[in-house]
Structure 1
Amino acid sequence: MKAQEVFRVKQAYGSGIVEIVIWQVPQPVPPSGHPYKYRLVYAVDGQRVLGYDNERGKGDHKHVGRHEESYRFISPQQLMADFMADLKEHCHDETDS
């Protein structure tokens, strides 16, 4: 089986752009133990502000500004819900500035 795209969207959001791409892959991307490869990003003026991904060698993690922390992947649906919750919080913070 080849990698199959499960979901893709790119659209304006807040003062930036959101791009979400999720693939189902035949083998987990080490050290992740699930069959998905993903990239979810919110960028403003070409700079990543928020991002979730599972890079080979790093596993599931997220970027909030310059800070990076591990992320516990449960499902593609939960991944998108967690990203959107962080995104809404971030955009709310932008309007408070």
Structure 2
Amino acid sequence: MRRFAEDLQQGDIAKKGSLLMENLSKASADLDNTFQQLERTLRSIDQTIAPDSSLNHALNETLEDISDASKSMEQLTDELYRYPGALLRGKREDK
């Protein structure tokens, strides 16, 4: 009887070991797929933010536009500081 119980346990261990190996094999394949997807994603990001990319060009243009708008706002606030009534009277004429 004892021998039968030992055989059952060994068979159970072998089944569990086999199942473990199968699960590890699947996990390894999933991990490989994950790394491949990560590699594709990183390449895509690299292309998107490259110095010659259209996104980089658009961002630079946007920053230039923001800088120009900031300079215009600074000129307006300076003008209003010097001539507070400029909003009521309109643009002053240079003589």
**TM-score tier (shorter):** under 0.3
Which TM-score applies when normalising by structure 1? 0.25
- TM-score normalised by L of structure 2: 0.25
Higher relative contact order structure (alpha carbons within 8 Å, sequence separation ≥ 6): 1
| Larger fraction in helix | 2
Structure showing greater Rg: 2
Looking at secondary structure, tell me which structure has more strand per residue.
1
